[in-house]
Amino acid sequence: MRPEILFPLFKSITSLPGIGPRMEKRVEDLAGPHVADLCWHLPAGLVDRRYQPKIAEAKDGEIATITVNIGSHIAPPSGNKRLPYRVWVNDDSGDMALVFFHARPDYLHRMLPEGETRIISGKIEMFQDAPQMSHPDHILTEAELDNLPLVEPVYPLTQGVTQKVLQKAIRGALKQLPDLPEWQDPAWLAKQGWDTFNKTLARAHAPEDLADLDPNSPARCRLAFDELLANQLALALVRLRMKKQPGRKIVGTGILRKKIEAEIPFSLTHAQNMALAEIDGDLKAPWRMLRLLQGDVGSGKTIVALLAMASAVEAGTQAAMMAPTEILARQHLETLLPLCKAAGISLALLTGREKGKTREALLSSLAAGEIDILVGTHALFQDDVTFKNLSLAIVDEQHRFGVHQRLQLSGKGGAGTDVLVMTATPIPRTLTLTAYGDMDVSRITEKPPGRLPIDTRILPIERLSDMVEGLKRALASGARAYWVCPLVEESELVQATAAEDRYAFLKAIFGDTVGIVHGRMKAAEKDEVMQKFIAGDISVLVATTVIEVGVNVPEATIMVIEHAERFGLAQLHQLRGRVGRGSGKSSCMLLYQGPLSETAQARLKIMRDTEDGFIIAEEDLRLRGAGELLGTRQSGLPTFHFADLASHANLLAVAHDDARLIIERDPELQSDRGQALRTMLYLFERDEAIRFIRSG
Ligand code: ADP
Ligand code: MG
């Protein structure tokens, strides 16, 4: 249960001043639904009002705070809305005009009564050599001067939310911050010179100069560390809990594996063998496997997964493998089916499309243990899916799933299910730690032999027609090509429309050999098109990023990506990995719409210069920061309010060690510090892990 002292922070933002029903949605989209979310919304800039010149000295373009006498109001000639309303003000050095467009005279007379003294603050502009100020940010009486923040934080905004509204709401939110217990080790705090959490947060919201906005400022470092510790502690608790449960000793006979290995036309690479050995070690051991298998696109994870599952079957148990999309699940089925047949393993598919009688029949043979390996999508999670004896759960392309789903899937097999998570998105080490700090990691760092390098080119969209000519020639000699259309963030519809347009354009040129798949098509339609592409009945496949993950058509050797500048590098890498899978020489055309920013240029250049996913991932993190790394919020990677992994990688390492140490000394978080740490987990909403302390 969330500690009572935190209740005020988890009230709705509508409890804050100035946030009514109209504002609620906007502020929620910007920061989040709770008061706490506004506390975490840090300024991105500041306005310094400490410059207090006389009127005559006021410099053009500066923010100035000036004490003035109010002179006359000059309304524009009636009816002329384009001319401003002016209020003349003066001090002993001179006078200037305050300028208002679309003015409401009665309001201005109230705010600026003639003959009185006011303090105004705003930007000085020179107009015909005389200073003026349009729409001062603040107009105060001398008595109100104390209310004027001399340095004002400037918050990231969104459409329809003004700085004033947000500042007021955030001030209100910060007032709700309770007296929190200290959860950090005092010696470490002293060493870093860090203040208490509350003082630190207050400071982060009241920057005095630009250095205070730097991720390396003491305040931002402490907040980042708190957040990273919460993340690492939560993962350490999950790990502790998973490891504490007795695993099952799965010892295969090797019989099925031999049969499978006899069927595949290649032998495993050294890296594949190493990974398999690590997995075997976990399967045999009495503890539960919790392992991440990282391997670049095309590094051959699927066969490793199958051989691991074969061991589970040899031991008389079942295995499951989950893919993030229908296309992928089907593809796994097709890859695995001939191998399983040869080995006498019974394999079945369960997706959202298996319905009614088919589904019932499938579920009952699953429960009876007649199915050895079940491949599927999220449908595997459904409550009525029960295995007779699931010992190994594999999640493919994990970056689409979070910790939560990981736990859910492993729950299917009861306590001891071994979990193997496979990801083809090589993520930087720091991110691996934040997302998978609970897991052991195996990496396949080498590709199967004989792969030709992919010729990657960067072209402006203006060269489209040249490219189409080139494509014509390639298709004439039997090539197959993917054509990926612009990614439109958050809108599958716009994305699909763009793809449809391009499809029409290409169809006009290449005729019936062009097909299209996108996320708004029915699964059956998508499959049909994919099948045609696999069979070679169509040779140009126009697609949105639905083909990003895992699709395997070795005959495809050309990848065209439009608006490559809009994609994350990891995504481009994934997409490019769709080609270069067979023996033919492959190429990748990155079409961009200029002009490109320096960062965008650097990013595309990395794509041209290397195919090593791990290098690409590290560079992407460096250039863009973790937030954008995978392009989408649904990436399943944890998000941070304060921590910026490009800047705080060193803090993450400390947090990781600290978390493991804490768990070693106080696994149930019972000590005073342990109790405070619980509060911290709740504060940062990583409290799901707390459930594991007692149960199990
Ligand atoms: P990913 O790691 O991206 O899931 P896949 O498992 O789909 O990669 O493998 C990509 C291709 O490489 C497949 O066609 C697979 O049969 C082939 N492959 C896998 N391992 C080897 C190997 N050791 N030697 C040659 N080809 C291999
Ligand atoms: Mg794969």
CA of 399 to the centre of ligand 1 (A): 20
- Provide φ and ψ at 128, rounded to 5°: 50, 50
Q: Which residues line ligand 1 (CB under 6 A)?
A: 266, 268-269, 272, 295, 297-303, 424, 448, 550, 552, 554, 581
Q: pLDDT tens-digit profile of 263-308?
A: 999 999 999 999 999 999 999 988 888 899 998 877 899 999 999 9
Give whole-number Cα distances, 67 to 18, 30, 141, 142, in Å: 29, 36, 9, 8
How far is Cα 496 from Cα 525, in angstroms, rounded to an integer?
14
Q: Which residue in the block uniquely carries the two structure tokens 């050999």?
A: 513
pLDDT at 388 over 90: yes
Closest CA to 608 of 561, 554, 541, 645: 561
Q: Say whether both 295 and 425 belong to one domain.
A: yes
Closest CA to 439 of 406, 413, 408: 406
pLDDT at 506 over 50: yes
User: Per-residue confidence at 415, pLDDT binned at 50, 70, 90?
Assistant: low
Q: Name 399's Cβ contacts closer than 8 Å, sequence gap at least 6.
A: 423, 425, 427, 435, 630, 635, 636, 637
Q: Say whether both 41 and 55 belong to one domain.
A: no
User: Per-residue confidence at 448, pLDDT binned at 50, 70, 90?
Assistant: confident
Ligand 1 atom at minimal distance to the Cα of residue 450: 25
What pLDDT, on a 0 to 100 scale, did the predictor assign at position 630?
41
Angle (CA) 684 429 569, round 5°: 95
Q: Where are the beta strands (DSSP E) in 303-405?
A: 318-322, 347-350, 373-376, 390-396
State the amino acid at position 225 in one-letter form. Answer: F
> Closest Cα to atom 10, ligand 1: which residue?
298
Q: Where are the beta strands (DSSP E) in 159-298?
A: 290-295
Which residue has better confidence, 451 or 176?
A: 176
Q: pLDDT tens-digit profile of 429-439?
A: 777 888 788 88
Q: Say whether both 105 and 74 belong to one domain.
A: yes
Please state the rounded mean pLDDT for residues 219-245. 90
Please name the residue ranges forming H helices in 178-217. Answer: 186-192, 197-205
Q: Where are the beta strands (DSSP E) in 343-399?
A: 347-350, 373-376, 390-396
- Provide φ and ψ at 588, rounded to 5°: -135, 125
Q: What is the CATH number of the domain that holds 61?
A: 2.40.50.140
How far is Cα 550 from Cα 296, in angstroms, rounded to an integer?
11
Q: Which two tokens stand for residue 28?
A: 């929620």
Domain count, the chain: 4
Q: pLDDT tens-digit profile of 482-504?
A: 999 875 555 666 666 778 889 99
Please state the rounded mean pLDDT for residues 516-522. 84
State the amino acid at position 463 in one-letter form. Answer: R
Q: What is the CATH number of the domain that holds 549?
A: 3.40.50.300
The average confidence (pLDDT) of the chain is: 89
What pLDDT, on a 0 to 100 scale, did the predictor assign at position 694?
60
Q: Say whether both 268 and 384 belong to one domain.
A: yes
Please state the rounded mean pLDDT for residues 564-590. 87
Which residue has better confidence, 79 or 381?
A: 381
* Residue 639 domain flag: no
Q: Which DSSP letter does residue 451 get?
A: P
The number of C-alpha atoms within 13 Å of 149 and in the hemisphere containing its C-beta is 16
Q: Say whether both 274 and 186 belong to one domain.
A: no
> Closest Cα to atom 5, ligand 1: which residue?
300
Which residue has better confidence, 613 or 426?
A: 613
User: Per-residue confidence at 209, pLDDT binned at 50, 70, 90?
Assistant: very high
Q: Say whether both 418 and 489 belong to one domain.
A: no
User: Per-residue confidence at 398, pLDDT binned at 50, 70, 90?
Assistant: low
Q: Say whether both 297 and 327 belong to one domain.
A: yes
Q: pLDDT tens-digit profile of 35-61?
A: 999 999 999 999 999 999 999 999 999
**Structural domain that includes position 167:** 4-46+157-213
Domain final position from 148, 181, 201: 148
Q: Say whether both 133 and 190 belong to one domain.
A: no
Give the global pTM.
Answer: 0.71
Ligand 1 atom at minimal distance to the Cα of residue 272: 23
* Residue 668 domain flag: no
pLDDT at 634 over 90: no
> Closest Cα to atom 9, ligand 1: which residue?
300
* Residue 167 domain flag: yes
SS (H, E, C) 567-590: CCHHHHHHHHCCCCCCCCCCEEEE
Q: Say whether both 169 and 294 belong to one domain.
A: no
* Residue 679 domain flag: no
* Residue 344 domain flag: yes
Ligand 1 atom at minimal distance to the Cα of residue 582: 14
* Residue 635 domain flag: no
Q: Say whether both 342 and 440 belong to one domain.
A: yes
Q: Which residue in the block uniquely carries the two structure tokens 């205070």?
A: 212
In terms of average pLDDT, the best of 171-185, 275-289, 392-406 is 171-185
* Residue 299 domain flag: yes
The number of C-alpha atoms within 13 Å of 350 and in the hemisphere containing its C-beta is 26
Closest CA to 76 of 51, 43, 100, 93: 100
Q: Say whether both 100 and 185 belong to one domain.
A: no
Hey, which of 269, 294, 302, 574 would you mutate to test ligand 1's pocket, going by the most ligand atoms within 8 Å of its Cβ?
A: 302
Q: Say whether both 460 and 593 belong to one domain.
A: yes
* Residue 637 domain flag: no
Domain final position from 444, 479, 508: 444
Angle (CA) 140 144 149, round 5°: 80
What are residue 292's DSSP bridge partners? 421, 441
- Provide φ and ψ at 18, rounded to 5°: 85, 0
Domain final position from 580, 610, 640: 610
